[in-house]
Chains A and B, each alone.
Chain A
Amino acid sequence: MARSLVIVGAGPAGMSAAIAAQARGARVTVVDEAARPGGQIYRQAHPALIGDDFAEASERARKERLIGAFERVLDRIEYRTETSAFALFKTGELHIASGSRTEALRADAIILTTGVREIAVPFPGWTTPGVMYAGGAQALLKSQSVLAGRSIVVCGTGPLPIVVAAQILRAGGSVAALATLNSLKVAGWQLPALWSGRELVREGLRYLTTVIRARVPRLTSYVPVRVNGREQVESVVLARVDRRGVVIPRTEREVACDVVAVNYGFTANNELAAMAGITMRHDPPRGGWLPVVDEFGRTSVARIFAAGDAAGLRGALVAEAEGQAVGAAAAADPEEITRPDFRAGLAVALAARERLSAFQDAMQQLLLVPSGLWRLPTDETIICRCENVTLAALRDALTAGYLAPNTIKRVTRAGMGWCGGRTCLHAVSALAELHGAPLAEMMTPRPLARPIPLASLANRAPAGRP
């Protein structure tokens, strides 16, 4: 009988794994929260909204090629859209919710391609309507055809703010300033790595050219330190920071805007992996706590695999190559993987992953967030937005010696709200480390990974094989 396989996520890694596994005869089920495939990076608009795309042509071509290939296997796989995976157990039982129903799936193999989410360093006023993640502003543009505001300040670290600023401009929007923490120069000396990612470098330079031609004020080593406006953003104060991330006095500049789009990098969506008891490792530049995987995506728990950014932030091209290898491995008999000809059959995908990972390693220099930035929040700044936990409340707990994430959560309620800590956990851990928490620790992930109404849990299909 053909092996059954469930893939969580329909981004580059998930789509590519589905195609590879289906080609090897596996019975594939893909579950994804969105209505259309693509994940976040290849997010697609509703068919009625498709207009101009503000991405580079080469980037659009990659997106169309992979989504096209995925669509061609749709009649041979099961693709469950608008479906959330909310629990995964060591036994390999995956729980999903769709509409008002829940269901448990069992399969011979499960691949987690849950991707990453954005993070930000909280600063005074960051809960004011108008402050949003830069990728969120980009998502509004690419899937909703809406500009986040009339006058947008884009800031943060890494390449994303540059891309978002350029796409806003190409859509006819106005960027009041582009403030980046790290200079592009830090990646500039790693020539072999840049060469291996030359297509992405070329795209990046085109985006930068768009920003320069539009005469957008560009500030390097500047970060948002404060937002003015009570009901909504009226202006943002940017200030220069030194190498340690500490604000340099008298460098503040106020810029009028109605949106502050900020991104300080990404953290892995690791809840399902951790919930299943998979051995995790801490790798901050690659997304924090990650499942330990071997070259074929096998985790410490039998039958559970991980691929793409959820197994370490390396971008869409690596995710696609890795999805091919992991999809093939999950579709194979466990013994088959150990044979030399199995690896030989995946040589192209494995080589592509290695080559493109080298480029992503070079880019990681751009994503570094120095510890001094964590001094941006003041006593009144809200760290956990769901439960309104301020820095003062958090610091009281830390000073009292509650340093482990689980304890901080119980004492302060940070991480106990609607988002399940997805917004604040990264900040809570970073602030705890500053207060001398011995080692980065993980908050114990508990079901549910998504809020599910009790009625949906009661409305439950019996466990079955897909």
Chain B
Amino acid sequence: MWRDMLTRVRSDAGLAQGRARNLGKSDDETSVFFSFENRQVKARVGQSVAAALLANGIRTLRIDEAGNPKGILCGIGYCFECRCVIDDEPDRRACMVDAKPGMRVRRQQGLA
């Protein structure tokens, strides 16, 4: 059963965010666009940068000083694992900054 489950889940790209039943809809009026690593990302108004990136399947927000990829851990602002460079300012917590139109976000590499 466990082996079956493993295969099934690996091949199942099914339940993507947009298709989840109950998370509300986003249309153009309630969307904002910002860039991440020069790629256009759509966010819902009121979403944090980290949440919007996650909704777009982007999980690695930072490469730390030792080269390890890092993503969201606490989701509420105290772990500082999700630090990104936002509008040229390093060390901004992606989980605490609301996505704003035209924002330029990139993965922080080490200290900057």
Contacts and interface: CB of A to CB of B under 8 A. Distances in A.
A93 interface: no
Given A128-B69, A217-B5, A423-B73, 10 more contacts: A52-B24, A129-B71, A135-B76, A172-B15, A172-B23, A255-B2, A257-B9, A386-B80, A422-B78, A423-B79
Q: Which of B15, B75, B79 has the most CB of A within 10 A?
A: B75
Given A47-B46, A139-B76, A140-B75, A172 B20 contact: yes
Given A217-B5, A388-B66, A46 B47 contact: yes
B61 interface: yes
Contacts of B10: 256
6 A-B pairs with least C-beta separation: A46-B46, A129-B71, A136-B75, A172-B21, A51-B24, A172-B20
A330 to B, nearest CB: 26
A54 B22 CA distance: 9
Contact of A136 (B1, B76, B83): B76
A254 interface: yes
B88 to A, nearest CB: 15
Q: Which of A48, A144, A170, A172 has the most CB of B within 10 A?
A: A144
B80 A150 contact: no
Contacts of A51: 22-24
Interface string B18-48: 0111111000001000000000000011111
A442 interface: no
Q: Which of A47, A145, A148, A257 has the most CB of B within 10 A?
A: A145
Given A136-B76, A171-B20, A232-B69, A129 B45 contact: no
A52 B23 CA distance: 7
Nearest to B10: A256
Contact of B83 (A130, A232, A418): A418
B7 to A, nearest CB: 8
Interface of B: 1-2, 5-7, 9-10, 12-17, 19-24, 30, 44-48, 51-52, 54-55, 59-61, 64-66, 68-81, 83, 91, 98
6 contacts: A129-B59, A145-B23, A256-B9, A256-B10, A388-B66, A422-B78
B69 A147 contact: no
Q: Which of B17, B55, B73, B81 has the most CB of A within 10 A?
A: B73
A128 B80 CA distance: 15
B46 A254 contact: no
A231 B75 contact: no
A337 interface: no
A127 interface: yes
Given A33-B77, A419-B80, A423-B79, A140 B51 contact: yes
Given A130-B71, A419-B78, A256 B6 contact: yes
Interface in A111-160: 117-118, 127-133, 135-137, 139-140, 144-148, 150-151
A235 B6 contact: yes
B22 A52 contact: yes
Interface of A: 33, 40, 45-49, 51-52, 54, 117-118, 127-133, 135-137, 139-140, 144-148, 150-151, 170-174, 176, 217, 230-232, 235, 253-258, 382, 385-386, 388, 417-419, 422-423, 451
B32 to A, nearest CB: 10
B22 A171 contact: yes
A144 B78 contact: no
Contacts of B74: 117-118, 132-133, 135-136, 423
A151 B76 contact: no
B6 A255 contact: yes
Contact of B20 (A40, A147, A451): A147
Given A46-B46, A47-B46, A256-B5, A133 B73 contact: yes
Nearest to B29: A48
A40 B75 CA distance: 11
A189 B62 CA distance: 47
